[in-house]
């Protein structure tokens, strides 16, 4: 009987050790989740602070873009329907942790490439570049990175436009970007950039006083491309900041739910360990009697 009691005590001690290990694992996991919650809360606060600045930059760029489009609307400028060379400029950024904003614009670009399989692609941002290189590596001709760290400026957009112009003349250029709709939503959108030939062929270009020797159509085309890129970058930047704020808010809520669950599990496991120890002590004392 004494040997049996010793064996029972040994088994109880082994089970208690396993419970202690499990309790320690739960405690470590609980601490790691709390640290993650602190990080996501901080990122949410930072994104909320930067969103106001991003919205101001977006509003300013939209004013210039709308003025630019008003000129082409008045001149009745139209993009050619059957263009031999088409360029798609896909605008995103390099940063992640912002939900599905990059995958949505990449999906929109892939759908557009189904209609224009021979179109060239220029990517702005590494996230979209990586996704498009998996499916359309031969279409990607040029890419830019280091974009999206701060609110975009016209200087950055002009530099990108200059590099795109070095690829050659395109009869049709489309800019794909994430349009900022509200603080909780965005919409993959696009707009056209008119080439020099399309501006020259405008029916009502004579409405404006254009000096033929000043190459006004070429200048308007280059400025329109830079202005469109700036507007797309500003909208995409605001959409990304908003999406990151929402993603970090959801992550913080999920972390809070996990903390509550693991806290309950930790307390129950701790109580079970204490109960098992009391049972072992009582069982050992009674067996010795």
φ/ψ (deg, to 5) at 23: -65, -40
Bridge partners of 173, per DSSP, are: 87, 193
Please tell me the total count of domains within the chain. Answer: 1
User: Which residues span the domain enclosing 96?
Assistant: 51-244
pLDDT at 16: 45
- Rounded Cα distance between 223 and 83, Å, is 21
pLDDT of residue 25: 87
**Count of beta carbons in the 10 Å neighbourhood of residue 272:** 13
| Residue 37: inside a domain | no
Q: Residue 77 domain-assigned?
A: yes
d(CA 131, CA 236): 17
In a domain, 191, yes or no: yes
Would residue 274 count as lying in a domain?
no
Q: Is 7 inside any structural domain?
A: no
Token pair 């220029």: residue: 122
128 located within any domain: yes
Closest CA to 281 of 21, 11, 9: 9
Q: Read off the CATH number of the domain in which 119 is found.
A: 3.40.1380.10
Is residue 193 a contact partner of residue 223, using CB atoms and an 8 Å limit?
no
Residue pLDDT tens, the chain, 289 long: 434 444 444 444 444 444 444 788 888 999 999 999 999 999 999 999 999 999 999 999 999 888 888 888 888 888 887 778 899 999 999 888 888 899 999 999 999 999 999 999 999 999 999 999 999 999 999 999 988 788 899 999 999 999 999 998 898 899 999 999 988 889 999 988 998 888 888 888 777 777 665 678 888 889 999 999 999 999 999 999 999 999 999 999 999 999 999 999 888 888 888 888 888 888 877 777 6
Assess if residue 163 is contained within a domain: yes
* Residue 98 located in a structural domain: yes
* 152 half-sphere exposure, CB direction, 13 A CA radius: 36
């Amino acid at each position: 009987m004494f040997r049996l009691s010793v064996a029972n005590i040994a088994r109880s001690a082994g089970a208690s050790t396993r419970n202690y290990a499990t309790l320690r694992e739960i405690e470590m996991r609980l601490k790691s989740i709390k640290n993650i919650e602190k990080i996501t809360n901080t990122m949410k606060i930072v994104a909320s602070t930067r969103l106001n600045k991003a919205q101001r930059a977006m509003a300013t760029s939209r004013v210039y873009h709308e003025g630019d489009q008003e000129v082409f609307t008045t001149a009745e400028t139209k993009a050619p329907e059957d263009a031999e060379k088409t360029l798609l400029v896909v605008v995103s950024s390099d940063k992640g942790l912002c939900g599905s904003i990059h995958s949505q614009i990449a999906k929109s670009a892939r759908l557009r490439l189904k209609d224009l399989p021979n179109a060239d692609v220029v990517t702005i941002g590494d996230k979209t570049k990586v996704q498009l290189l998996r499916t359309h590596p031969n279409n990607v001709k040029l890419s830019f990175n280091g974009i999206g760290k701060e609110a975009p400026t016209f200087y950055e957009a002009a530099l990108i436009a200059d590099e795109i112009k070095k690829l050659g003349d395109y009869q049709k250029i489309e800019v794909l970007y994430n349009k900022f709709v509200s603080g909780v939503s965005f919409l993959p959108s696009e707009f056209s950039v008119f080439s020099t030939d399309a501006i020259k062929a405008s029916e009502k270009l004579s409405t404006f006083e254009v000096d033929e020797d000043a190459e006004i159509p070429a200048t308007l085309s280059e400025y329109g491309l830079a202005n469109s890129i700036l507007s797309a970058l500003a909208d995409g930047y605001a959409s990304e900041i908003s999406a990151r704020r929402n993603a970090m808010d959801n992550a913080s809520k999920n972390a809070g739910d996990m903390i509550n669950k693991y806290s309950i599990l930790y307390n129950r496991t701790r109580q079970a360990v204490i109960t098992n120890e009391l049972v072992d002590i009582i069982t050992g004392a009674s067996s010795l009697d």
